[in-house]
């Protein structure tokens, strides 16, 4: 283990280890903590499954309350549980609102307003900084090419935003590669020896450029979303905030984090908008929602179903769980299904 992270605690559980680490975050400009579960040693590297928690949570809630460790152990899954916001910083005129903005309510977005943009860059933190840190620090334990992700409430619309950005980024890279190929064909039309030599040199340069483009594409995908999602298009959700731009619960935080001058920019973080307009490869989406959820009207589960219904690229596996609310007793009841859902794809 390098000096980049410090081990705070570890406990044996289901023949693996629950560990808590701290590190200095360059993107959030503060000290951050995160939990991992390291499963028992196996003949193959562990696949990685990230869990993004909901409002008011820290990195501790899921790992302690969900019951996921038992099933992660059985399926050779390495769990990663980040925090939900920056910590230990000073916020001018902090608001006493549990749903945000502020501590425990980072909404996994990159803030753009003066008050929050310095520290509240949770999207960059998760998709770039912490992702690369985990891959580097645990490279002897995990398969760095097998990551997947799920979450609860606030921790879910992030998934859809990231998925959509992956697809758009891939299309842009394909267009750039097509332009490069057209340039190559034009260069090859020259007939004299000198030009042939130049073409050979150009082709070599273009080959190098293509290799660089591939590498850049790989890292850009890392920056926008976990690499596995690009290949498998797999994630799941517990009671997601599905339509935050049309929800009293999240509107105040969006205004504070993103401002009100360009509300069109809010849509990049709205799952219903993104799912309705998604035009990439088909993918499955498992979503559980409790029928007795005290926040059901705010979560806009019906809007999520409609958005997916209107898009043939999305296979929504929507399960309305009778009598269950929004808390961790509900999550722990169905956590086995979600772990096995991800494991089926990750480990095959």
Please give the order of strands across the beta sheet that includes 5-13. Answer: 5-13, 16-25, 30-38, 77-82, 46-52, 142-152, 234-238, 283-290, 314-321
Residue 342 bears catalytic tag: no
Active-site option among 110, 270, 293, 298: 293
The pairing of beta strand 16-25 with beta strand 30-38: antiparallel
Q: List, in sequence order, every residue forming a beta bridge with 286; answer none if it has no partner.
A: 236, 317
Set 73, 153, 162, 343: catalytic member: 153
* Active-site residue (options: 23, 35, 152, 326): 326
Has 153 been annotated as catalytic? Answer: yes
Is 62 in contact with 51 (CB distance < 8 Å)? yes
Active site residue 152: no
Handedness of CA 198, 199, 204, 210 (dihedral sign): positive
Cα separations in angstroms, 286 against 66, 304, 337 = 17, 12, 10
Q: With the C-alpha atoms ordered 117, 238, 336, 345, is the resulting torsion angle positive or negative?
A: negative
Q: Are 229 and 151 in contact (CB under 8 A)?
A: no
Residues annotated catalytic, as ranges: 153, 293, 326
């Amino acid at each position: 283990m390098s000096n980049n992270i410090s081990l705070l605690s570890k406990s044996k559980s289901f023949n693996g280890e629950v560990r808590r680490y701290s590190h200095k975050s360059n993107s959030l400009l503060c000290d951050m903590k995160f939990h991992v579960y390291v499963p028992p040693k196996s003949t193959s590297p562990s696949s990685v499954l990230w869990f993004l928690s909901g409002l008011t949570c820290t990195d501790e809630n899921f790992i302690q309350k969900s019951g996921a460790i038992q099933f992660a152990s059985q399926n050779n899954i390495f769990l990663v549980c980040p925090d939900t916001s920056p910590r230990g910083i000073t916020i001018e005129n902090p608001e006493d609102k549990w749903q945000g903005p502020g501590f425990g309510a980072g909404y996994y977005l990159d803030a753009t307003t003066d008050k929050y943009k310095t520290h509240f860059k949770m999207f960059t933190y998760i998709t770039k900084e912490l992702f690369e840190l985990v891959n580097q620090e645990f490279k002897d334990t995990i398969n760095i090419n097998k990551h997947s992700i799920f979450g609860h409430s606030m921790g879910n619309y992030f998934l859809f935003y990231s998925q959509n950005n992956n697809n758009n980024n891939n299309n842009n890279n394909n267009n750039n590669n097509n332009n490069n190929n057209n340039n190559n064909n034009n260069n090859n039309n020259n007939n004299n020896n000198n030009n042939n030599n130049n073409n050979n040199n150009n082709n070599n340069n273009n080959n190098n450029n293509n290799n660089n483009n591939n590498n850049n594409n790989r890292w850009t995908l890392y920056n926008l979303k976990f690499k596995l999602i690009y290949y498998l298009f797999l994630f799941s959700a517990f009671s997601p905030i599905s339509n935050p731009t049309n929800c009293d619960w999240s509107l105040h935080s969006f205004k504070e984090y993103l401002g009100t001058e360009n509300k069109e920019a809010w849509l990049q973080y709205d799952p219903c908008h993104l799912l309705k307009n998604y035009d990439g490869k088909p993918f499955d989406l498992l979503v559980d929602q409790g029928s007795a959820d005290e926040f059901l009207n705010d979560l806009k589960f019906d809007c999520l179903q409609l958005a997916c219904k209107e898009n043939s690229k999305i296979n929504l596996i929507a399960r309305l769980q009778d009598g269950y609310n929004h808390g961790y007793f509900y999550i722990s009841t169905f956590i086995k299904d979600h772990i096995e859902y991800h494991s089926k794809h990750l480990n095959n």
